[in-house]
Structure formats: C-alpha cells, structure tokens
C-alpha cells in the first residue's frame, strides 16, 4: 500500500504500484480526461509511470500553463514522428516546447518546402487519430548511443554523450518512432487533440552557434483545444494589424527605401510625432537637471582607438576617408561627452554632471537584423552620461529609475521589469570595484520597488548594467531603457576631477537611456497604441470637416482659432459627404473631428466626434478650443 497525499491534504491509499492515471481516475472522471501528467514530490512524471512509495502529488491538467507546455512538447514529438515517416533520411535533433507552441530542429540535405509543411501536418493528424501509446523506457547509455548511431541519428548520439553520467537515459516510444527525451509525455498521441498547427520554416544553427551546421526548424503552435488555437491565430492577426511598418505607411509617417537601407525617411506627419516625443523627453531631462550638448558625428579614428571602440566595435562602424585620415561615424556618444568633460578643470563640486545628447549614431548592423524602426543603422538615442563619484552611483541610479518609471507611465507603460546583468567572465577592473558597483545598483533598484530578474554574467566588460523592459498593450516585452556603470572609459580617455583633497580623481560614468532609440521607441508606441496615438502625440490632432460648402467660411474660422490656440488642426473642405470624411479621418486615426454644418455656423458651435466614438457632442467654439487645448497638452507641461 502507498499513501498518496493530494494538494488539498487529503490522503488516498492505493495498492502499490499505482499510476497517476489511476489516482486521477479515483478523484474524478473529468480530471482523468484532462490530466496530462502528475507531479510526484515536486517532479513531473508520466501518468503511466509506476509510483512505488508514499508521495505528495498534484495532477497536471491540459488547460494550465504547465499542462500546455507538456502538450506542446508532445506536439514536437508527433511532428518528429511525422517527419521521420515522410522523410526517413532526416535526422532529428531537439524539439522543445516554447511560448505558444513548439519547434523541432531537423538536419536534412534538401530543405523543407511550405508544401512539405502541409503534408507533415496531415501526417501529424493521422498519428493523433491512431492514438499511439507513448511509453517511457530507461536505456543503458552505450546501447542508446549505438542505437541512434545505427539509425544515422548522429545528433541524438551527441546529445546522449553530453548527459551527465548519473542521470538515466530515457527514451520514449510512440508507434515506430523512438526519441531520446527527458519527458514526461502524455499517455498517447491521441491526447494531443486537434488544437495545433504548423506555422513556419526557419533556419537555426545547431546548438545556437553560427559556426555550426544550419538546421531546419519547423515552428508550430499548440493549444489544449481547437477553440484556443483559433483564439491564438486571431490574436496573431490582431497583432499584425498593429505592425508599425504597415501603420507607418498607412498613416504616412515614414518610409525606407533601397538606397538607404536601415535609415528612415521621416514624412511630415512622422516627423511631427518625432519632434513631439523629443521635445517631451528634453523637457523631462531639463527638469531632472541634465545639461544638453551636441558632439560631432564624423570623428577621427584616433579617438576611437583611444576609447577602445576601434578594437571592440570596428566591424559595426562606418568609416570615411578624407585627406589621408580615416574618420568614423560615431556609433555612440560617450567618447564625445568625455571630450566635453575634459575641457577645463572639473571639481568634485561639479559632480554629478548629467550630460545629455540626442545624438545621431550609426551602426553597421548585420543585414538580417534590420527591422522597420525597431532595428536600424542610423538612430538617435535619448542618451546621457552621468559623471559622478563611486559614492554617488546609488543616488543617481535611484533618481534615474524614478525618472524612467515616470516617463514610461506617461505612455501608459505601467508594467516594467529590470534585468540586472552582473560581471561577465572577461572584464576590466578589480573585483572590489565590481562588488561596490553591483551593490550600488542593487540598493538603488530595490529602493524603487522594481521587479528585478538576474541576467548573470551578461554585464558589459566595463561594468554591470540594468536593462529596463516594458510590457505593451498586448503583452509584448520591449527592452528600451538601460543604465550601465563604466569604470573603463574615464580611464582610457583620461577624464578626471579635482577632489575635496585637492588631488586628481577618476569619475565613474553612467551610460543611460530611457527611450533607448527614439526611432525604435516610436515603433513601440505605434504598436502599443495600434496607431491611435494620444492627442498630444498625434500629428494631426483635429480635423475640421464641412458638411456642405455653404459652411466653408465658418470652418476656416474654426480651424484658424484652433491653430492659434496651438492645436495641430487640418481643414477638410472637400466636396464629399460627411460619412465619407468621417470614415477617412477615422482610418487615418485622427483623434478628433469637428463637423461643421449650417447649424454650427449659425450658432457658432462645433460638433465634436472622437475617434472610435459613436456619438457627437455639440459645443460652443470657445469652449471646444479651451477643452481641446487642455486635452492636447503634453504631460509634464
């Protein structure tokens, strides 16, 4: 007999051995049906695996995140079985569950085609319909290696060789397909159901290393039922409608063309948005006691050699030749800022010195990395460097975090997490200094109440860093802000200040940005708002549209009044129906529309319609102007 303790504390006794399947059945038929695995003393087990001793258990059901992960893992195995059945010459490698689905990496000479994907998916449905039992087997290590080698599965053999000796080598058998796997799995392929779909083909390097063979990855999505699958596909369509590249064209904000790959042609409307954002962040920095500077874009290689960029960052830099000198477009502003810092003597009384620049940087990003506004070769950071003493790091970091959170809040980003990247293996500076810097960042972030996740060993070679990740309206994460402590650059470029003791001292530099790149942040905003920008950022804030041309004169007057009040107003006097105009300006995502007909002209009123709204509001012109200009005010003014 074994005593099985359920999550609610009740104890069942069973004849030993007992399986998870049996336990679930004893609790309820519905639970047995929804069960996908069992947690035994904290470990996930197959439902069919024998439990020999007393245990604390929990049944894992398919509609939980954990259950879906198992389901997705099964889907990967079913896909591998389908691929091996259709294309026996293919080698299988690894196939994990991922967010929303799964993938499997295959090695095969001829690439898969989209048509193959359809075939594989059909075969998967057949395997599910056959409801093959999935059985766990523990194999002797050498036997397993030989088994896979005999099958020509060299990657699998390599994986087994890497499994620590004390761990069991477990294989899972379903139909004729045997795969190395840690498990657990559902009891049979039928349990996968129909809630899956193959999504895309992609290349992926073996073990994620670009020096290795490129494998073929097939991505799929999998859910507990078809309804959830459909809901997911719908969400993908909705997300695609927010794509900033599409909205950028539809809203006439910007374009990119072949002759300037990775650089943005800002159209008048897009540039208005850019200017508003820049003006906003400039105001916030002014208020936070930053000074703003501007440094050269084209700088002699001598300076990059001194700063270390020529050695560490050369391949990402664009260069130019002039009069036998090699110049480079700046990829970062920091060396320029140190040059300004070095002008004249600096005293400890000048610290902390917060030096900001909306500098245009160029980086030669690999072509495959380019992506709309999100990853470009020419961009503008809301960059600043804080020159301070080591003792000031905590206070400055704290102030920065507070400022960053307040800025994000103005865009509706309330959900922010911090990734703390500490010392990498290869680094500059002494451990005692790193200890102090890491502690300073930790103290500061803890004081702001931010959620911190560790990114061990991911710091820059010159110091630890914080990365600020925000979550947008549909739950996607974007890393925008950053704060990096730098001990190296002040040293390399010989920045110093006169201390209280009258001696020379080395300042610490904090590299920091809130928006990151303005281009990229605009991309994030477009997607976050789905193009419906808040009034203060909207390129056109209000359209004055006539119903018939009898009201043209009054409409002009209204538009003029709005403009005088500082609103970005446009006039629509076209010979079109008001329905047509409403539709067009709605599609253009103009937040406000004032319809002007004979009634309005007579009473000196306007009829206000808000984007997406169903009804209108009649207002006296003066009241409308007062109200709308108040609504259009940028935050922090």
Partner RNA sequence: GCCGGAUUAGCUCAGUGGUAGAGCAGCGGUUUUGUAAACCGAAGGUCGGGGGUUCGAAUCCUCCAUCCGGCACCA
Catalytically annotated residues: 334, 363, 381, 383, 385, 465, 511
* Residue 276 host element (H or E): helix 268-287
Closest to 86 (Cα-Cα) out of 190, 203, 177, 215: 177
DSSP state of 90: P
Cβ 367 to RNA shortest distance, Å: 3
Q: Binding string, 526-565, against RNA, x = CB under 7 A?
A: ---------------------xxxx---------------
Query: For 422, how many CA atoms within 13 A lie in the half-sphere containing its CB?
Result: 15
Name the segment binding RNA (CB under 7 A); options: 159-167, 256-264, 265-273, 534-542: 256-264
| List 242, 375, 385, 423, residue binding RNA (CB under 7 A) | 375
Beta strands in 133-176 (DSSP E): 134-139, 169-174
| List 3, 133, 261, 474, residue binding RNA (CB under 7 A) | 261
Name the segment binding RNA (CB under 7 A); options: 5-13, 151-159, 213-221, 286-294: 213-221
Tell which phi-psi region holds residue 516, choosing left (phi > 0), alpha (psi between -120 and 50) or beta.
Answer: left
Q: Binding string, 318-357, against RNA, x = CB under 7 A?
A: -------------xx-------------------------
DSSP state of 29: H
Q: Which CB sits closer to RNA, 26 or 469?
A: 469
Name the segment binding RNA (CB under 7 A); options: 130-138, 241-249, 275-283, 622-630: 241-249
Q: Are 362 and 261 in contact (CB under 8 A)?
A: no
Tell me the two tokens of residue 592: 């406000």
Tell me the two tokens of residue 397: 């970091």
CA 214 to CA 208: how far, in whole Å?
9
Q: Which CB sits closer to RNA, 110 or 225?
A: 110
Q: Binding string, 90-129, against RNA, x = CB under 7 A?
A: ---------------------x-xx---------------
477 is a contact residue toward RNA (CB under 7 A): no
| List 3, 202, 454, 474, residue binding RNA (CB under 7 A) | 202
Name the segment binding RNA (CB under 7 A); options: 121-129, 144-152, 360-368, 560-568: 360-368
Q: Which CB sits closer to RNA, 436 or 576?
A: 576
Cβ 488 to RNA shortest distance, Å: 10
Cβ 577 to RNA shortest distance, Å: 4
Tell me the two tokens of residue 408: 């994000």
CA 484 to CA 323: how far, in whole Å?
37
Cβ 390 to RNA shortest distance, Å: 20
**Helix axes 431-448 and 393-410, enclosed angle (nearest 10):** 40
Question: Strands 378-388 and 508-517, how do they pair?
Answer: antiparallel
**Helix axes 154-162 and 141-150, enclosed angle (nearest 10):** 160
Q: Binding string, 4-43, against RNA, x = CB under 7 A?
A: ----------------------------------------
Neighbouring CB atoms inside 10 A of 360's CB total 16
| List 288, 370, 378, 634, residue binding RNA (CB under 7 A) | 370
Q: Are 592 and 546 in contact (CB under 8 A)?
A: no
Cβ 478 to RNA shortest distance, Å: 11
Cβ 67 to RNA shortest distance, Å: 24
* Residue 555 host element (H or E): helix 552-564
Q: Are 269 and 539 in contact (CB under 8 A)?
A: yes
Question: Hunting for tokens 């997705």 — which residue is that?
Answer: 72
| List 21, 87, 139, 205, residue binding RNA (CB under 7 A) | 205
Cβ 602 to RNA shortest distance, Å: 8
| List 138, 367, 501, 502, residue binding RNA (CB under 7 A) | 367
The number of residues that bind RNA (CB under 7 A) is: 67
Closest to 37 (Cα-Cα) out of 4, 10, 61, 8: 61
Cβ 471 to RNA shortest distance, Å: 18
Neighbouring CB atoms inside 10 A of 286's CB total 13
CA 275 to CA 571: how far, in whole Å?
22
**591: helix, strand or coil:** coil
Residue 82, C-beta contacts closer than 8 angstroms, at least 6 positions apart: 120, 121, 123, 124, 126, 127
Cβ 204 to RNA shortest distance, Å: 4
* Residue 609 host element (H or E): strand 605-610
Please list every residue from 558 through 617 that binds RNA, using CB under 7 A: 575-580, 582-583, 586-587, 593, 595, 597-600, 607, 609, 611-612, 614, 616
List residues near RNA by CB under 7 A. 111, 113-114, 200-205, 208-210, 214, 216-217, 219, 243, 245, 249, 256, 258, 261-262, 309, 312-313, 316, 331-332, 363, 365-372, 375, 460-461, 547-550, 575-580, 582-583, 586-587, 593, 595, 597-600, 607, 609, 611-612, 614, 616
């Amino acid at each position: 007999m074994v005593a099985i303790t359920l999550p609610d504390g009740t104890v069942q006794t069973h004849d030993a051995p007992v399986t998870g399947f049996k336990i679930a059945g004893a609790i309820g038929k519905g639970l047995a049906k929804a069960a996908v695995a069992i947690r035994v003393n904290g470990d996930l087990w197959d439902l069919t695996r024998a439990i020999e001793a007393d245990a604390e258990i929990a049944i894992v059901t398919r509609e939980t995140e954990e259950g879906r992960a198992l389901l997705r893992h099964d889907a990967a195995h079913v896909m591998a079985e389908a691929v091996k059945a259709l294309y026996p010459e293919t080698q299988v490698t690894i196939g994990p569950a991922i967010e929303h689905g799964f993938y499997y990496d295959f090695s095969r000479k001829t690439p898969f085609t989209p048509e193959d994907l359809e075939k594989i998916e059909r075969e998967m449905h057949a395997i599910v319909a056959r409801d093959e039992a999935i059985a766990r087997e523990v194999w002797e290590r050498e036997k397993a290696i030989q088994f896979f080698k005999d099958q020509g599965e060299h990657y699998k053999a390599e994986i087994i060789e890497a499994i620590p000796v004390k761990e069991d080598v477990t294989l899972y058998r379903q139909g004729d397909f045997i795969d190395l796997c840690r498990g657990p799995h559902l009891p049979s392929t039928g349990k996968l159901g129909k809630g899956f779909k193959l999504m895309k083909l992609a290349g992926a390097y073996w073990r994620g290393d670009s020096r290795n063979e490129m494998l073929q990855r097939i991505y799929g999505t999998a859910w507990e039922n078809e309804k959830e699958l459909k809901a997911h596909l719908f969400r993908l369509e909705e997300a695609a409608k927010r794509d900033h590249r599409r909205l950028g064209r539809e809203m006439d904000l910007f374009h990119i063309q072949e002759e300037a790959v990775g650089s943005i042609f800002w159209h008048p409307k897009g540039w208005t948005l850019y200017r508003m954002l820049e003006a906003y962040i400039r105001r916030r920095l002014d208020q936070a006691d930053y000074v703003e500077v501007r440094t050269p874009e084209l700088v002699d290689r001598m300076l990059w050699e001194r700063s270390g960029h020529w050695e560490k960052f050369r391949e990402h830099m664009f260069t130019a030749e002039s009069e036998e000198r090699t110049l480079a477009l700046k990829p970062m502003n920091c060396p320029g800022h140190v040059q300004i810092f070095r002008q004249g003597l600096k005293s400890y009384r000048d610290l902390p010195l917060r030096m900001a620049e909306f500098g245009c940087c160029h980086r030669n990003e690999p072509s495959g990395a380019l992506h709309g506004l999100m990853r470009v070769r020419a961009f503008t950071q809301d960059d600043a460097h804080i020159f301070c003493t080591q003792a000031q790091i905590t206070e400055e970091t704290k102030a920065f975090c507070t400022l960053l959170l307040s800025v994000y809040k103005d865009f509706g980003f309330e959900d922010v997490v911090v990734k703390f990247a500490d010392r990498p293996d290869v680094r500059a500076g002494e451990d005692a200094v790193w200890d102090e810097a890491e502690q300073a960042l930790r103290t500061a972030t803890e004081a702001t109440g931010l959620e911190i996740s560790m990114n061990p060993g991911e710091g820059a070679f010159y110091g630890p860093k914080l990365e600020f990740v925000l979550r947008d309206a549909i739950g996607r994460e974007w890393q925008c802000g950053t704060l990096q402590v730098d001990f190296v650059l002040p040293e390399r470029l010989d920045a110093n200040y006169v201390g209280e003791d009258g001696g020379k001292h080395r300042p610490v530099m904090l590299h920091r940005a809130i928006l990151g790149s303005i281009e990229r942040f605009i991309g994030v905003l477009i997607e976050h708002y789905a193009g419906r920008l808040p009034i203060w950022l909207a390129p056109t804030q209000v359209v004055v549209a006539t119903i018939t041309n009898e009201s043209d004169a009054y409409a002009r007057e209204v538009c003029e009044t709005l403009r005088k009040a500082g609103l970005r107003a446009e006039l629509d006097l076209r010979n079109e129906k008001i329905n047509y105009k409403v539709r067009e300006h709605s599609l253009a995502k103009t937040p406000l529309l004032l319809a002007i007909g004979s009634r309005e002209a007579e009473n000196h009123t306007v009829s206000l319609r808000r984007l997406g709204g169903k009804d209108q509001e009649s207002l006296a012109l003066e009241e409308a102007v007062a109200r709308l200009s108040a609504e259009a005010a940028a935050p922090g003014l």
